[in-house]
Amino acid sequence: MMKSLIVQSRKHYRRFYRLVALAVILMTAVLTGSLLLGDSVRGTLVQRVSERLGKTETIITSGTGFMSETLTQQPLLKHAKGYLLMDGFVSVDEKLLPVYVWGTDDDALSPGEVMVNEPLNAKLSTLSPQLSTLVLHLPTHNLVPSGSLFVSKSYATQMRVQVVGVKPVEDGGNLLLKNEQTLPLNIFVNRKYLAEKMELEGKINMILSDEMIDEEELATCWAPEYSGLHITDTTLTYDGVFIPQDIVQKLSTVNSQQSTVYLSYFVNDLIHQSDTIPYSFVTAVNEWQGEPLDGQDIILSDYAAERLHVHEGDSIHMSYFITKQLKNLDTSEQTMRVKQIVPLSAFQDDSLLMADFPGLTRVEKCTDWDSDLPIDMNRVHQEDEDFWHAYRQTPKAIVSYEAVKSDWSNAFGNATAMRFTPQTSTFSSAEPNLKSQISYRIFSTLGLPRKLTPSDANVQLYHPRAQGLKGAKGGVDFASLFLSLGFFIILSAILLMKNLLVELFTLRRSEIQLYRQLGFKDKDIRKGLFREAFSVIFLASPLGVIAGLAYSSLTLWLLGNVWSGATHTEGFALHIQPLTLLTGWIVALLISAITLWFVVRNILNPQPSYRIFSTLGLPRTFSSAEPNLTPHTSTLNPLIVSLARLACQETSAIILLLTITLTALNFIFFHNMVLFIVCGLLWVCAWGLFLRMKVERQSAASIGGTMSRTQLIWTSIHASMKQHLLAYWTLSLGVFTVFAVGLNRPDFSQAVQATGGYQFYVDSRVPIQYDLNNKAVRHKLSLQSLPDSTLFLSFLRHKQDEASCLNLNQVNTPTVLGVDLKEMESFGLIQEPHTSHLTPHIYIDEEALVWSLMKSVGDTLVYQNDKGESVPVVIAGTYPTGIFHGNAIMSSEDFRRLWPKEVGVEVLLMKSPCPEEAAETLAMAMSEYGLNIQTVEERIRMFFEVTETYLIIFLTLGGLGLLLGIFSLMIIVRKNLAAQATTIQQYRAMGFSESLVGQLLLRENLLVPLYAVGVGAIGSVISISANVGGAGFTTLLLAFAVLIIICLLLYYGIKYMIQQSMINITYSFIKTKSV
**Residues binding other proteins (CB under 8 A):** 609-610, 612-613, 620-626, 629, 631, 702-712, 715-716, 718-720, 982-983, 985-994, 996, 1069-1072, 1074-1075
- Closest by Cα among 600, 582, 583 to 497: 600
Nearer to other proteins, 164 or 979 (CB): 979
Q: How far is the CB of 1061 from other proteins (least distance, A)?
A: 15
**Contact partners, residue 733, CB within 8 Å, separation at least 6:** 684, 1016
Phi, psi (rounded to 5 degrees) for 855: -125, 180
Nearer to other proteins, 378 or 628 (CB): 628
SS3 at position 909:
strand
Q: How far is the CB of 1001 from other proteins (least distance, A)?
A: 13
Q: How far is the CB of 528 from other proteins (least distance, A)?
A: 30
Q: How far is the CB of 615 from other proteins (least distance, A)?
A: 15
Burial 249-268 (b: 16+ CB within 10 A, else e): eebbeebeebbbbbbbbbbb
Nearer to other proteins, 570 or 994 (CB): 994
SS3 at position 603:
helix
Q: How far is the CB of 513 from other proteins (least distance, A)?
A: 18
Q: How far is the CB of 966 from other proteins (least distance, A)?
A: 25
Cα 247 to chain centroid distance, Å, stands at 38
> Cβ distance 64 to 238 under 8 Å?
no
Q: How far is the CB of 711 from other proteins (least distance, A)?
A: 8
Q: How far is the CB of 575 from other proteins (least distance, A)?
A: 55
- Alpha-carbon distance 59 to 68, whole Å? 15
> Cβ distance 1009 to 1054 under 8 Å?
yes
Nearer to other proteins, 605 or 1072 (CB): 1072
Q: How far is the CB of 650 from other proteins (least distance, A)?
A: 26
Nearer to other proteins, 960 or 972 (CB): 972
- Closest by Cα among 484, 588, 589 to 32: 588
Instruction: Write the DSSP assignment of 446-483 as a string of letters.
Output: TTHHHH--GGGGT-EEE-HHHHHHHHHHTS--HHHHHH
Give the dihedral of Cα atoms 988, 990, 993, 995; nearest 10 deg: -60
- Closest by Cα among 218, 157, 221, 220 to 189: 157
Nearer to other proteins, 253 or 710 (CB): 710
Nearer to other proteins, 35 or 1002 (CB): 1002
Nearer to other proteins, 17 or 714 (CB): 714
> Cβ distance 281 to 287 under 8 Å?
no
Q: How far is the CB of 984 from other proteins (least distance, A)?
A: 10
Q: How far is the CB of 1012 from other proteins (least distance, A)?
A: 21
- Closest by Cα among 464, 462, 456, 409 to 65: 456
Nearer to other proteins, 73 or 710 (CB): 710
> Cβ distance 857 to 905 under 8 Å?
no
SS3 at position 912:
coil
Nearer to other proteins, 430 or 979 (CB): 979
- Alpha-carbon distance 36 to 483, whole Å? 11
Q: How far is the CB of 663 from other proteins (least distance, A)?
A: 37
- Alpha-carbon distance 98 to 524, whole Å? 72
SS3 at position 667:
helix
Instruction: Write the DSSP assignment of 980-1007 as a string of letters.
Output: THHHHHHHHHTT--HHHHHHHHHHHHHH
Q: How far is the CB of 968 from other proteins (least distance, A)?
A: 24
User: How many residues make up the chain in this entry?
Assistant: 1075
**Contact partners, residue 377, CB within 8 Å, separation at least 6:** 366, 367
Nearer to other proteins, 18 or 722 (CB): 722
Nearer to other proteins, 517 or 1074 (CB): 1074
CA 189 vs CA 197, 248, 339, 572: distances in Å: 11, 36, 55, 29
Phi, psi (rounded to 5 degrees) for 596: -60, -40
Nearer to other proteins, 845 or 1004 (CB): 1004
> Cβ distance 648 to 673 under 8 Å?
no
Nearer to other proteins, 27 or 984 (CB): 984
Q: How far is the CB of 1015 from other proteins (least distance, A)?
A: 25
Nearer to other proteins, 323 or 1066 (CB): 1066
Q: How far is the CB of 1068 from other proteins (least distance, A)?
A: 12
Nearer to other proteins, 667 or 992 (CB): 992
Amino acid at 1007: L
- Closest by Cα among 1014, 482, 953 to 731: 1014
Nearer to other proteins, 614 or 804 (CB): 614
- Alpha-carbon distance 961 to 737, whole Å? 12
**Contact partners, residue 145, CB within 8 Å, separation at least 6:** 64, 65, 151, 240, 242, 412, 901
Q: How far is the CB of 621 from other proteins (least distance, A)?
A: 5
Phi, psi (rounded to 5 degrees) for 595: -60, -45
Nearer to other proteins, 753 or 985 (CB): 985
Q: How far is the CB of 1075 from other proteins (least distance, A)?
A: 5
- Closest by Cα among 407, 453, 458 to 239: 458
SS3 at position 87:
strand
* Opening angle at CA 669, ends 665 and 673, nearest 5: 80
Q: How far is the CB of 10 from other proteins (least distance, A)?
A: 24
Burial 613-644 (b: 16+ CB within 10 A, else e): bbebbbeeeeeeeeeeeeeebeebeeeebeeb
